[in-house]
Amino acid sequence: MKIKKFDNEFSWKEARKTKITGSRLGSIVVLRGTGKKIGFYELIAERLAIPRPEGENKMERGHELEPIAIELAEKELGKTFNKELVIWERDEEACIAISPDAFLDNLKEAIEVKCLGSAKQIKAIIENQPEDEYKWQYLQYFIVNDNLEKLHVVMYDPSFVESLQYKRFEITREELKEDIEKYLEYQRKELEEVNKIVNKLSF
């Protein structure tokens, strides 16, 4: 066994990168199934990505990168999307809603940008699918907007070389049609129950 000594915390933290440490082991070990956990992709990303500043606000970074991601998608698709700050609501139930990042004026296509960090960017590229953590958000676009035919999930991270910075996934209404009806009805029932409880407690 080797023992490495460090003069400061920064160099110690940097040396821990790309290694399976005790605190990381749990994010790598798969007990059920054969898929890889996020720790596996973190190891890859730490070898390929430019390190981000410590303490960086992820939400602020996402807002800064979003226009660039949309512009790249527009260039790839050859279309100009509306970037107004809006909320879409269902006609019969305003509480069933979504906030699109960008959309065509005919409402048939929309863009959802995800700047999730290097590990999730690499995971999406290797697995060739958008981050599953947000599947309900993707579904909600189609539940709210009956005219929507395609949702473009755009993942962007400038920490990598150009070929790994941008990845677009296309989700269609056809793929989700069974879940659209199912979870629209589910939301209606939940809201009905919420309204009953609110009315009861208001008097």
On whether residue 38 sits in a domain, the answer given is no
How distant, in Å, are the alpha carbons of 22, 50, 198 from that of 136?
A: 33, 31, 25
More confident residue, 13 or 109: 109
| pLDDT tens digits, one per residue of 131-142 | 888 999 999 999
Mean pLDDT over 39-52 rounds to 76
Give the separation between CA 41 and CA 126, rounded to whole angstroms.
Answer: 9
Q: How many residues does the chain have?
A: 203
Q: Which long-range contacts (CB under 8 A, 24 or more apart) does 60-64 make?
A: 61/115, 62/113, 62/115
Q: Which of 39-48, 107-116, 189-198 has the lowest mean pLDDT?
A: 39-48
Question: Mean pLDDT across the chain, nearest whole number?
Answer: 87
On whether residue 81 sits in a domain, the answer given is yes
- Tell me: pLDDT of 109 over 90: yes
CATH number of the domain encompassing residue 177:
3.90.320.10
3 state SS of 61: helix
Report the percent of the chain where pLDDT is more than 90.
59
Indicate the pLDDT class of residue 82, thresholds 50, 70 and 90.
very high
pLDDT for the residue numbered 46: 79
Give the separation between CA 168 and CA 161, rounded to whole angstroms.
Answer: 16
Both structure tokens of 187: 């939301």
More confident residue, 126 or 37: 126
* Residue 130 near residue 169 (C-beta atoms within 8 A): yes
Residues of the domain holding 78: 55-202
3 state SS of 153: strand
On whether residue 148 sits in a domain, the answer given is yes
On whether residue 33 sits in a domain, the answer given is no
pLDDT for the residue numbered 172: 97
Q: How many domains does the chain have?
A: 1
3 state SS of 94: coil
On whether residue 82 sits in a domain, the answer given is yes
Give the separation between CA 173 and CA 193, rounded to whole angstroms.
Answer: 28
On whether residue 9 sits in a domain, the answer given is no
* Residue 192 near residue 199 (C-beta atoms within 8 A): no
pLDDT for the residue numbered 27: 73
* Rg (the chain; Cα; Å): 21
- Tell me: pLDDT of 2 over 70: no
On whether residue 17 sits in a domain, the answer given is no
pTM: predicted TM-score of the whole model, two decimal places: 0.80
